[in-house]
Amino acid sequence: MMTHAARILLVIFTCVVFFAPPYASGETASEIARQIEDHNAKIEELNKEITAFERELARVGTQKQTLQNTLSQIDLARKKITASINVTKNKIGALQLEIQGLSRDIVSAEDAIHINEGGLAESIRRLNEAEISSPALAIFSSDGLSLFWNDMDETKRIQNAIKTDIQKLSGQKHSLSETKSATERKQHELVVEQKNLIAQQGSLDATRRVQAELLAETKSQESNYQSLLAEKQAAKSSFERALEELESKLEFILDPSRIPSAGKGILRWPLDAIFITQEFGRTSASGRLYASGTHNGVDFRASIGTPIKAALSGTVIGAGNTDGGGCWSYGKWILIKHGNGLSTLYAHLSEISISSGESVSTGQIIGFSGFTGYATGPHLHFTVFASDGVQIKNLGDWYRENGLPAITACAKKSAIIPVAAQSAYLNPLDYL
C-alpha cells in the first residue's frame, strides 16, 4: 500500500516533470534566426547604396546649377529615399520575426507556469493533509514505527523539494516578465520604424511633386531654368532690402531673462545629417543680427525630400507659402513657438506636414526640404527668434499701416511671413 508521503512524492515528481518550459522546436527557432539574418544582410547592403547616393549627391551639388543637374539631384534623392524605405521595411520584417519568436516563448512559458502552479498547489494541499494527521494515527495506519519514521523523512525531503520548485517557479515567472518586457520594447521599435516608413514615403512623394512642378515651370528648357534662377536671385535681394526696411521700424528690447542662456543642446538639430552651408551673421562670431546684409539664420545642406524635424516641442503659430508670383521670400515656411522663450523658423520647404495651431513634439517630422521661395538650390534655412520679438505679418497691410505704398512684389501679393526686430534674431548655433 502506498503511504501518504509516497503519494505526495509522486505528485511532486509529476510537477517536476512538467516544470521545464516547452520552448519551441530548434528548427523553428533556427528558421526565424536565419530569416532575421537575411533581413540584416539586406540592410547592410542597402546602407552601402545609401552612402554611395549621398556621396554622389554631394558631388552633383557642387556642380554648376543647370536644369539637368537639378533633375539629377532629384533622381538621386529619390533613389536614396527608396533605398531608405527598403532598409526600413527590412527592419520591420526583422522586428516582426523577433516579436513572433518572443510571443511564442511567452505562450509556452505561460502554459508551463499554469501547469506547474496547479501541480504545486496539489502537492502542498496533500502535504498539509499528511501533516495534520496525528502521529498516533500515522503509526496505527503504518506497518510499524520504522515505516512512520521513514514517512517523516520522506515528508521532509518533499518539503525541501517543494521549496526548490517554488524557487524555480519564481525564476520562471521572472524570465517570463523579462520576455514580455523585451517584446514590448520590440513592439515600440516596430511602431517607430512604421512611422519612419510613412515619413520616408511622404519624402518620396515630395521629390516626385518637385520634379513634376519644375519640369512644368521650365517646360524642360535650360534657358527657362536659368531665367528662373535669375528671377529668384533678384527677388532675394529685393525681398531682403524691403524686409530690413520694415523690420527696422519695429521696436523691441531683448530681455535676456526671457530667453535661455546660450548652451549646447537647448534645441535639437532639425536634420539627422548636419552640414552647414552658411552661418548666422557676417561671420561665425557676429553674435546677434544688428547690421544689414547679414544672414538671419543658418543654412543646412539638405537634398530634396529630406525630413525636417522640430527643434523642440511647441505650437505651430504659422505656416505659409510665398513661392512664385514675384514674391519668393521664404517659400514654404513653418514658425514654431517653444515654451522656453524661443521660436524657430524652417524655410524653403518642399512640403509642409503640419498645420497652424498644432502642437508638435521634439524631433517630430514637420515637413520636407526643398528650394521654394528665393532659394536657388535645395537646403533648409533655420532661424531662431526671441519669441517676444517675432510676429506674423501680412506685408501688404504692414506697408499700409506704416504709410508706405505697397509696391514690392510681396506687398502686392499680400504675402504673410514672420517678421522681427533685428534684436530679436538669435544665433541658432548658440542653442544647437
pLDDT digits (tens, 9 = 90+) for 400-420: 887 777 777 888 888 899 999
Residues 339-398: pLDDT tens digits? 999 999 999 999 999 999 999 999 999 999 998 998 888 999 999 999 999 999 898 888
> How sure is the predictor about 284, in pLDDT bands with cuts at 50, 70 and 90?
very low
Answer whether residue 142 shows pLDDT above 80.
no
Span 183-207, mean pLDDT? 85
Q: How many Å apart are CA 19 and CA 55, to the nearest integer?
A: 57
Residue with cell 514517512: 151
Residue 224 lies in a domain: no
Q: Examine the domain organization and report whether 38 and 178 are in the same domain.
A: yes
Residue 411 lies in a domain: yes
Q: Examine the domain organization and report whether 300 and 199 are in the same domain.
A: no
pLDDT at residue 300, as a whole number: 96
Last residue of a domain, one of 179, 210, 241: 210
Query: With contact defined as beta carbons under 8 Å apart, do 398 and 365 qualify?
Result: no
Q: Examine the domain organization and report whether 187 and 253 are in the same domain.
A: no
DSSP 220: T
Kindly report which listed range (57-71, 129-143, 249-263, 410-424) carries the lowest average pLDDT score. 129-143
Query: With contact defined as beta carbons under 8 Å apart, do 129 and 7 qualify?
Result: no
Q: What percent of the chain has pLDDT over 70?
A: 79
pLDDT at residue 314, as a whole number: 98
Q: Examine the domain organization and report whether 276 and 340 are in the same domain.
A: yes
Q: Examine the domain organization and report whether 335 and 419 are in the same domain.
A: yes
Answer whether residue 8 shows pLDDT above 50.
no
Residue 371 lies in a domain: yes
Question: Total domain count for the chain?
Answer: 2
Residue 263 lies in a domain: yes
Answer whether residue 141 shows pLDDT above 60.
no
Q: Examine the domain organization and report whether 368 and 402 are in the same domain.
A: yes
Supply angle C-alpha 10, 14, 19, rounded to 5. 145
pLDDT at residue 27, as a whole number: 54
Query: With contact defined as beta carbons under 8 Å apart, do 379 and 298 qualify?
Result: no
Question: Which residue would you say has higher pLDDT here, 307 or 288?
Answer: 307
Q: How many Å apart are CA 126 and CA 159, to the nearest integer?
A: 11
Residue 222 lies in a domain: no
Q: How many Å apart are CA 370 and CA 172, to the nearest integer?
A: 55
- The residues, any chain, with a CB within 8 Å of residue 40's CB and separated by 6 or more, are 90, 94
Q: How many Å apart are CA 231 and CA 217, to the nearest integer?
A: 13
Q: What DSSP string describes 301-343?
A: E--TT-EEE-SSSEEEEEEEEE-STT--TTEEEEEEEETTSEE
Span 131-139, mean pLDDT? 53
CATH code, 382: 2.70.70.10
Residues 26-42: pLDDT tens digits? 457 888 889 999 999 99
Answer whether residue 22 shows pLDDT above 50.
no
Among candidate residues 9, 300, 306, 227, the one with its CA nearest the CA of residue 130: 9
Q: Which domain holds residue 250?
A: 233-430
Last residue of a domain, one of 175, 210, 245: 210
Answer whether residue 140 shows pLDDT above 60.
no
Range among 224-228, 419-423, 427-431 rated most confident: 427-431
Residue 221 lies in a domain: no
Residues 183-193: pLDDT tens digits? 888 888 888 88
> How sure is the predictor about 129, in pLDDT bands with cuts at 50, 70 and 90?
low
> How sure is the predictor about 245, in pLDDT bands with cuts at 50, 70 and 90?
confident
Answer whether residue 5 shows pLDDT above 80.
no
Residues 43-94: pLDDT tens digits? 999 999 999 998 998 888 888 889 999 999 889 989 988 998 999 999 999 8
Q: Examine the domain organization and report whether 280 and 413 are in the same domain.
A: yes
pLDDT at residue 335, as a whole number: 98
Q: Residue 225: phi, psi to the nearest 5?
A: -70, -45
Q: Examine the domain organization and report whether 206 and 245 are in the same domain.
A: no
pLDDT at residue 241, as a whole number: 78
**Range 10-14, long-range pairs (CB < 8 A, 24+ positions):** 11/119, 11/122, 11/123, 11/126, 12/123, 12/158, 12/161, 12/162, 12/165, 14/119
Q: Examine the domain organization and report whether 180 and 45 are in the same domain.
A: yes
**Range 2-6, long-range pairs (CB < 8 A, 24+ positions):** 3/142, 3/147, 3/151, 3/154, 4/126, 4/129, 4/130, 4/133, 4/138, 4/151, 5/130, 5/150, 5/151, 5/154, 5/155, 5/158, 6/154
Residue 108 lies in a domain: yes
Q: Tell me what percent of the chain is helix, strand and coil, each rounded to the nearest 5.
A: 55, 15, 25
Kindly report which listed range (155-169, 190-204, 387-401) carries the lowest average pLDDT score. 155-169
Residue 392 vs residues 220, 323, 335, 398, 415: alpha-carbon distances, Å? 36, 17, 9, 10, 10
Q: Examine the domain organization and report whether 184 and 246 are in the same domain.
A: no
pLDDT at residue 19, as a whole number: 41
Span 179-186, mean pLDDT? 82
Answer whether residue 430 shows pLDDT above 50.
yes
pLDDT at residue 127, as a whole number: 62
334 dihedral zone (left: phi>0; alpha: psi -120 to 50; beta): beta
- The residues, any chain, with a CB within 8 Å of residue 337's CB and separated by 6 or more, are 314, 315, 317, 343, 387
Span 232-245, mean pLDDT? 80
pTM: 0.74
Supply angle C-alpha 410, 416, 417, rounded to 5. 95
Q: How many Å apart are CA 381 and CA 369, to the nearest integer?
A: 9
Q: Examine the domain organization and report whether 169 and 90 are in the same domain.
A: yes
Span 286-303, mean pLDDT? 70
Among candidate residues 344, 308, 338, the one with its CA nearest the CA of residue 418: 344
Residue 216 lies in a domain: no
**R_g of the chain computed on alpha carbons:** 35
Q: Examine the domain organization and report whether 32 and 164 are in the same domain.
A: yes
Query: With contact defined as beta carbons under 8 Å apart, do 299 and 379 qualify?
Result: yes
